[in-house]
Amino acid sequence: MKVKVIKNNQFDLPVYETKGSAGVDLQANIESSVILKPLERALVPTGLFLEIPEGYEAQVRARSGLAIKHGISLVNGIGTIDSDYRGEIKVILINLGDKEFTINNGDRIAQMIFIKHEQADFELVEELQDTERGKGGFGHTGV
């Protein structure tokens, strides 16, 4: 799969760090450092613009190291970049930790993964096929 990129930053194109990597890191493209206080959030630009093939999406996810060491996560859990979006990729970070966290230009702030998807064709019906699980929802199988 080819993804066309416009790069308005001084960094290299994103790369897969290992042969088995599913995602590539996104870097902060900021003029001055951003300090995130506990429970504060910020929209951090990357300087990347993508042309994602139709039938795919890019998912922006938190970096596990930032999450466990500093409590840095994404406000929306996982961000979706649709194939028809042409704006700059920006990351909505939140500090869930108890200390201030500084984001500097070039810091790796999130990861991006490409996923193939399909669009559903919804069909209105009167009933759904029954299953063994049925309507069992949150926690229905126990702890």
Task: Give 16-29 pLDDT, tens digit per residue.
Answer: 999 999 999 999 99
Domains, the chain, in order of start with CATH, read 4-15+23-116 (2.70.40.10)
- Residue 133's pLDDT is what? 83
- Residue 137's pLDDT is what? 79
Between β-strands 24-27 and 101-103, what pairing exists: parallel, antiparallel or unpaired? unpaired
Kindly report the average pLDDT of the chain as a whole number.
95
Cα–Cα dist 3/52, whole Å: 5
- Residue 112's pLDDT is what? 98
pTM above 0.95, yes or no: no
pLDDT band, residue 42 (cuts 50/70/90): very high
Task: Give 73-125 pLDDT, tens digit per residue.
Answer: 999 999 999 999 999 999 999 999 999 999 999 999 999 999 999 999 999 99
Residues in CB range of 1: below 8 A, 6 or more apart: 53, 56, 114
Between β-strands 24-27 and 56-61, what pairing exists: parallel, antiparallel or unpaired? unpaired
- Residue 75's pLDDT is what? 95
Does the pLDDT value for residue 14 go beyond 80?
yes
Does the pLDDT value for residue 139 go beyond 80?
no
Q: Residues 57, 80: contact at Cβ < 8 Å?
A: yes
